[in-house]
Amino acid sequence: MHAHITLTEYGQFIGIKSECLTVKENGTVKEYPLNRLKSIQIAKQGISFSSDVIIACANRGIKFFLSDFKNEIISCLSGTQQHAVVRVRQKQFTFVNSPSTAILSAIVIEGKIKNQRATLLYFKKYHQDKAAIIEKTAEQLKTILRQIKTKDWQKYDRWRDILLGLEGQAAAQYWQCLVETNLMPDDFKGRVGRQAQDIGNRSLNYGYAILTSYVWNALINAGLEPYAGFFHVQRAGKPSLVLDMMEEYRAWAVDRNIIKHRGVLRDKNELTPIIKKQIITDIHKTFSTKYHYHKRKIRLESILQRQIYHLAGTFAGDRKYKSYWFRW
């Protein structure tokens, strides 16, 4: 099943044939049934497609994402066949301007740190020689989690600054642990975003772009506004809600897969087409893997979508959001 397609090769052409999407490359043609697709991501310049593709995708609710040279999504094309969007977004806008954002933000950041901790402990099983360093960091993260859990966030006027500080402390310890344990490529010295030159950070950024499309797709399905976040500062061109809801999944869905590629990335100076395809395949595989969720196992993509629906319910005041925690 190819629910999500990521295209990365210059010169590829996307078309429509009967009820299938076709991808032409170097004289070969691959076909993907339209009724099985949920999103298409263009992650390279020089990939061509016709208006027939956009119309076919829009009519079937298939999202169409385009990334720039920095691997950041700059466009999302979707159909107009959405239901109850106005009401859902009115609730969202009311919520993000209320004091309740402090509580929800703390819940999401708590989930992010717990999943960073779970990712480290996952690798502890396979790297017993690094166990002491990982256990020390896991305890440091647990201390930060206690601070987040015990604060009454609505009492703080500067709650966002305080929470950002705790999130930053956790991130510094998490990435430092990956450096000290050599779980990332040798040239990785810490987390770098847009201007990254080392292969480790470039791989992470590439993986986060794929994660972005999953989260964005789920938000649109729920009728939510991707640019109206509750934790990340809102500004023009910044999909704040996408960034908010990515936090829980970064470590497990992306970091863990990049760490697994450490051997492949060693001594590499750039992301080759082969490496890109491996990253794409592994992240798509992660979202197709079944995980425990409310006493049963379902695919991570379905878990993400349900979590987003729960978020919409939180915006409407119908329920309290709870982050999803991975088990190691």
Other beta carbons less than 10 A from residue 82's beta carbon: 14
Kindly report the average pLDDT of the chain as a whole number.
Answer: 92
Q: What is the mean pLDDT of residues 165-169?
A: 97
What pLDDT score was predicted for residue 196? 85
By the 10 Å C-beta count (0-12 exposed, 13-18 middle, 19+ buried), 129 is classed as exposed
User: Cα(90)–Cα(151) distance, rounded to whole angstroms?
Assistant: 29
Band of the pLDDT at 82, cuts 50, 70, 90? low
The domain ranges of the chain are: 4-77, 85-315
CA 125 to centroid of chain Cα atoms? 25
Q: What is the mean pLDDT of residues 142-157?
A: 94
What pLDDT score was predicted for residue 73? 80
Q: What is the mean pLDDT of residues 39-53?
A: 88
More confident residue, 179 or 44: 179
Asked if the domains 4-77 and 85-315 are classified in one and the same CATH topology, the answer is no
Q: What is the mean pLDDT of residues 45-68?
A: 87
More confident residue, 178 or 71: 178
What pLDDT score was predicted for residue 266? 86
Report the candidate in 110, 111, 109 with the shortest Cα–Cα distance to residue 326.
Answer: 111
> What CA dihedral angle connects 328, 301, 209 and 182, to 10 degrees?
10
Band of the pLDDT at 279, cuts 50, 70, 90? very high
pLDDT of residue 88 exceeding 80: yes
Tell me, what amino acid is at 83?
Answer: H
* pLDDT tens-digit readout, 190-199: 998 877 889 9
> Residues 56, 16: contact at Cβ < 8 Å?
yes
pLDDT of residue 83 exceeding 80: no
Reading the block at residue 250, the tokens are 């970064």
pTM: 0.86
pLDDT of residue 141 exceeding 90: yes
> Residues 109, 167: contact at Cβ < 8 Å?
yes
Topology of domain 4-77 in CATH is: Ribosomal Protein L15; Chain: K; domain 2 (3.100.10)
What pLDDT score was predicted for residue 230? 96
CATH 1.20.120.920, domain 85-315, yes or no: yes
